């Protein structure tokens, strides 16, 4: 007889969970970003993070910086870095070349460092 009471209690709990769960109103998410949809024929494309890319000012070495650094990582990553002195930027660019095998020659590396110091250098 105890076995049947256990089943009855379990069924009652399941019914309670279903009833309680079905009667709950969906919660609004505060400050939820809006997604953008693009319809191409029968396919929908969705951009989950429609944030614009960071803007980098014009300066010598900008083209090399954007061309080479964006090969491996987002330029937003660089825009969030603190302002570093020239030696730190040189070390970072050399690390990308040595450790991560970035295809950057020494002349281009100097241009990239010059640009980084100009726009994200410690003053």
Token pair, residue 122, equals 């410690």
Out of 8-12, 26-30, 36-40, 101-105, least confident range: 26-30
CATH code for position 111: 1.10.760.10
- The residue range of the domain holding 92 is 62-120
How many structural domains are present in the chain?
Answer: 1
Q: Is residue 92 part of a domain?
A: yes
Q: Would you tell me the crossing angle of helices 106-120 and 86-98 to the nearest 10 degrees?
A: 140
Q: Is residue 1 part of a domain?
A: no
Please tell me the total number of residues recorded for the chain in this structure. Answer: 123
Contacts 24+ apart (CB under 8 A), 3-11: none
Closest C-alpha among 119, 120, 69, 74 to residue 95: 69
Q: What is the pLDDT of residues 70-105, one digit of tens each?
A: 999 888 889 889 999 999 999 999 999 999 999 999
This prediction's pTM: 0.59
Q: Is residue 27 part of a domain?
A: no
pLDDT of residue 15: 75
Q: Is residue 100 part of a domain?
A: yes
89: number of Cβ within 10 Å: 21
44 membership: H or E segment, kind and range: strand 43-47
């Amino acid at each position: 007889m105890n076995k049947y009471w256990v089943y009855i209690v379990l069924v009652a709990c399941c019914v309670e969970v279903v009833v309680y769960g079905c009667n709950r109103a969906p919660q609004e998410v505060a400050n939820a970003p809006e997604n953008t949809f693009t319809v191409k024929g029968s396919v929908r494309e969705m951009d989950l993070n429609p944030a614009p890319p960071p803007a980098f000012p014009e300066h010598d070495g900008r083209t090399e910086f954007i061309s080479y650094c964006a090969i491996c990582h987002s330029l937003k990553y660089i825009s969030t870095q603190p302002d570093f002195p020239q030696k730190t930027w040189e070390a970072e660019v050399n690390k990308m070349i040595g450790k991560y095998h970035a295809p950057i020659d020494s002349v281009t590396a100097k241009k990239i460092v010059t640009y980084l110091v100009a726009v994200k250098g410690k003053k």
